[in-house]
Chains A and B, each alone.
Chain A
Amino acid sequence: MTSRYTRRELMVVAAAREIRDHEVVFVGMRLPLLGFGLAKANHAPDAIGLFENGVIRDRPAEAFIYTMGDPPNIVGAVACLGLVDVMSLLQQGRVDVGFIGGAQVDPLGNLNTTRTSSNGALTRLPGSGGAGDIASLAGRTVLIMEHEPRRFRERVDYVTSPGHFPGRRRGGPATLITTLGVFDLSTRRVRAASLHPGVTPQQVREATGFPVTIEDHTPATAIPTADELAYIRHADPDGFWTGDSMKTG
């Protein structure tokens, strides 16, 4: 059976694979939220999810949620603490992996969600939220990005969420999941771990404003299994997060 899937469904599956069993995960919304649920259903049944509003869950919400504060994310939670409580666990080193995204990324995995300036025109973005904290304090971070030249910069205009820098206490960007592929950031240079099916190295280079290593034997990103797709479509029945005009596969 050939399953059709969207780019975003592929990214959810890639995000899920970044979560190992028994890990404590700072979840976030959108694709990582679905990735957490998928990991729990598949290979990481004992993973724990923390949300920055203070919620701790060991199973996904029973109904679709638009925000982490929606009532279905509270029902059946393990605990509802405060923001400072869960951030304290993060600072203490109890969180293995956190997911973050941004408007711009650079080769060191710095993310900008604060402000950009192009040709002197200032654009104000919403800001850090909890992303700067996750970037600073998690055991490792997974970055999720739309892969576009204007977003992939030699240097970001503003470092909202710090990537690799000298003297970092712990953690840092490990993996970058984009609409074109999965990239290893752990060695402080950007290396393609896999390209999504149908994506060429040239496409990636044209969409990336900095050097990226793509070896000849770089594999294709594993496509979602029927079970994985079934889970995602159960969790996001209308394709609110994972819908994509561009059907692939």
Chain B
Amino acid sequence: MKLKRSLREAIAEQVHDGDAIALGLALESGIPFAAVHEIIRQQRRDLTLIGPISDMAFDQMIAAGTVAKVIAAWVGNVAGGSGYGFRRAYEQGQPRRIVMEDHSNFSVGLALKAAAMGLPYLPTFTGIGGDIVRGHPRIRPIGDPFGGPDLLAVGALRPEVAIIHVQRADAQGNAHLWGNLGLTVEAAYAARRTIVICEQVVPEAVIRSDPNRTVIPGFLVSAVVEEPGGALPSSVQGYWRRDFEPFLAYHRMSRTPEGLQSWLREWVLDLPDRAAYLRHMGEANLARLRVSDRRLAAEANFAP
């Protein structure tokens, strides 16, 4: 049974100490914060985080001591720049030392794409002449067998788990996502296991009515969880607006280790689950962020 009763159950089953986890793949939207917080509550250790730009999700996981390594193009807080949790870990080894594998957005995308394609690497021109690729563990110079200019090979990156937040999925994990995609598809195809978190579990007829919108076929999915608002404070197209203030609040609080720990207690450790997080936000905030107006796509006729 792929459909889980709770995110707690899905994380307990699918995410283990030492796993490499890809998340935050749609960039600033659909960040699976509910899953991030559940992983922190379940005290996973020695994780490797994979993503393009992670906004404050990676920062929180690093500050909570769950992370040993980060493979990413950008780690911080889009609202404020610096990620103080990341900086303290990288600069001072607090709460623990982390290994950083720097990428650009394209190179981390190519690493996932190579794994998604079943290839050992993909060639690219990006990064030539810069310091990211110098002595890089996953990026090496190669020649062009057809006689063109030299390139860089970006080695495949296969996450143990990809965590994806989508608008809707059926109980088999067939997932509809619209709006930002980022690296969602590459990561889901590359990962050994994919957790799909959705705003709504829908009947399979809804999915089959619009197969082009299925970005992840269910046979690639290990677990499905319905968790409305599970990406807040990031946005979900058609469901939730971005809540800007929590990013600023986290930015302010995380300046000191004490402030950050107090933020983690208030918003993660002292709450049992996402339902409690939403109650803590308050109905007025939820009402402000919930999308109620409609901008529907035109019908597409699939009649044979």
Contact = CB atoms under 8 A, between A and B. Distances in A.
A91 B126 CA distance: 7
A3 to B, nearest CB: 29
B140 to A, nearest CB: 16
A126 B81 CA distance: 7
Given A66-B242, A126-B83, A132-B104, A137 B126 contact: yes
B102 A127 contact: yes
Interface in A131-164: 131-133, 135-137, 158-162
B235 interface: yes
B185 A82 contact: yes
Contacts of B295: 75
Interface residues of A, number: 46
B14 interface: no
A230 interface: no
A128 interface: yes
A74 B102 contact: no
A70 B235 contact: yes
Interface string A50-88: 001111000000000011111100110000111110010
Contact of A136 (B72, B86, B125, B180): B125
Interface stretch (B5-13, B15-23, B127-135, B279-287): B127-135
Contacts of A126: 53, 74-76, 81-83, 86
Contacts of B91: 122-124
B27 interface: yes
A100 B128 CA distance: 17
B113 A124 contact: no
A69 B131 contact: no
A129 interface: yes
B180 A69 contact: yes
Contacts of B127: 132-133, 136, 162
22 contacts: A53-B26, A53-B29, A67-B29, A69-B26, A69-B27, A69-B29, A69-B180, A70-B29, A87-B105, A87-B109, A124-B86, A127-B103, A128-B73, A128-B104, A130-B104, A130-B105, A130-B106, A136-B104, A158-B131, A159-B130, A160-B131, A162-B127
Interface of A: 52-55, 66-71, 74-75, 80-84, 87, 90-91, 110, 114, 122-133, 135-137, 158-162, 165, 167-169
Interface of B: 26-29, 52-53, 72-76, 78-79, 81-83, 86-87, 90-91, 102-107, 109-110, 113, 124-132, 149, 178-186, 234-235, 237-238, 241-242, 244, 291, 295
Nearest 8 pairs between A and B by C-beta?
A: A69-B28, A126-B76, A162-B129, A132-B104, A67-B28, A69-B29, A129-B74, A162-B130
